[in-house]
Amino acid sequence: MEYFQTSVISNICISEDIFVMVVGRNGAPASAGQFFMLRATGSALTLLRPISIFKAEADTLHFMYRIIGKGTRELSTLRAGDTVSLLGALGTGYPIDKMSGKVALVGGGLGIPPLCETAKELTAKGVQVDVYLGYRDDLFAVEEFEPHSRDIFVSTEKGEEGYRGFVTDLLKPEGYDAVFTCGPEIMMRKVAAMCAATKVPCWCSMEHRMACGIGACLGCSVRTAEGMKRVCKDGPVFPSNIIFPNK
């Protein structure tokens, strides 16, 4: 974990309200499923914002985010050459090292970006990766998964591209050694339930408002089967039977 100032290399709108920001990595550690806290240097805002790692390259970090409030709106105004403060990488990511065989990645909406780095790291380890991506309407980042996956399944709620319906309709967990999911809680609960029914281990990545990002303030605690857990430190990735014990 490092706290450092770095330069924005690019910050591009890829869809109506979705941006990809690329910044200098400055040698910071980063692995799949972890996140950074970001804040424009000199910003008047009080809190840094947690954003997942979309891609960690040798010299750059890529963050894909949607404008949902003041913090992300301010990030979207940054331009190449602006300075941004980063704290990270933070949290417990996906258990890449424990994986072998075949793993399914199931993402919904802005839960999709962190699965890109995850697909890359799994593939590099020799794990066979299938990707299930659920969108409301417009697709994004699908091509980013192509080098790091065997099959890509796409669904949209309106059905203009890919399967019409929910991405969980496409998933058959029994064909996999593990399932990693990230996205809306309702989707992850469904994935967790399907995995529980077929006895396939499943990990879910949670999203939460945070203040410190390092486990000190308890602003992001969630109730789990093992008591209160900090999304920022104990998570954001949790085994599904811990985070959704009733499903």
Partner 1 sequence: MNLGTTLLGIHFKNPIIAASGTFGFGDEYNELYDVSCLGGISSKGLTLHPKDGNEGIRVYETPSGMMNSVGLQNPGVEAFIQEGIAKMRRFDTVLIANMGGHSMEDYVTGAEMLSKADIDILELNISCPNVKSGGMAFGLKAEVAQEVVSAVRNVCSKPLMVKLSPNAENIVEMALACESAGADALSLVNTFQAMAIDVHQRKPVFNNVYAGLSGAAIRPIALRMVHSVCKNVHVPVVGMGGIYTAEDILSFIMAGATAVQIGTINFTNPLAGKELVTALEALCQREGIQDINEIRGII
Report CA Rg, the chain.
Answer: 17
Taking CA atoms, 175 is separated from 70, 102, 152, in Å, by 42, 8, 15
Q: Are 133 and 145 in contact (CB under 8 A)?
A: yes
Nearer to partner 1, 1 or 80 (CB): 1
Instruction: Classify the C-alpha dihedral 83-85-88-93 as positive or negative.
Output: negative
> Least CB distance from residue 198 to partner 1, whole Å?
31
Q: Which of 16, 44, 97, 147 binds partner 1 (CB under 8 A)?
A: 44
Q: Which stretch binds partner 1 (CB under 8 A): 64-72, 95-103, 117-125, 194-202?
A: 64-72
Q: Is 70 in the site for partner 1 (CB under 8 A)?
A: yes
Q: What part of residues 10-29 is at the interface with partner 1 (CB under 8 A)?
A: none
Kindly tell me which residue out of 81, 97, 227, 246 binds partner 1, with binding defined by CB under 8 A.
227
Q: Which helix (H) or strand (E) holds 151?
A: strand 151-156
- Residue number with CB closer to partner 1 (46 or 246): 46
In angstroms, what is the minimal distance from the CB of 233 to partner 1?
7
Return the number of the residue (124 or 216) whose C-beta is nearest partner 1. 216
Kindly report the number of other CB atoms within 10 A of residue 118's CB atom.
30
Q: What is the rounded distance in angstroms from the CA atom of residue 77 to the CA atom of residue 81?
A: 12
Taking CB under 8 A as the rule, which mask of x and - marks residues 192-221 in contact with partner 1? -----------------xxxxxxxxxxxxx
Binding letters toward partner 1, positions 77-96, x by CB under 8 A: --------x-x---------
Which tokens in the block code for residue 101? 């065989």
Q: How far apart are CA 134 and CA 183, in angstroms?
A: 9
Choice from 48, 56, 105, 191 touching partner 1 (CB under 8 A): 48
Sheet holding 178-182, edge to edge: 163-164, 151-156, 128-135, 102-108, 178-182, 202-205, 237-239
43/123 with CB nearer partner 1:
43
Applying CB under 8 A, the residues found at the interface with partner 1 are 1, 3, 39, 44-48, 69-71, 85, 87, 209-221, 223, 227-228, 233
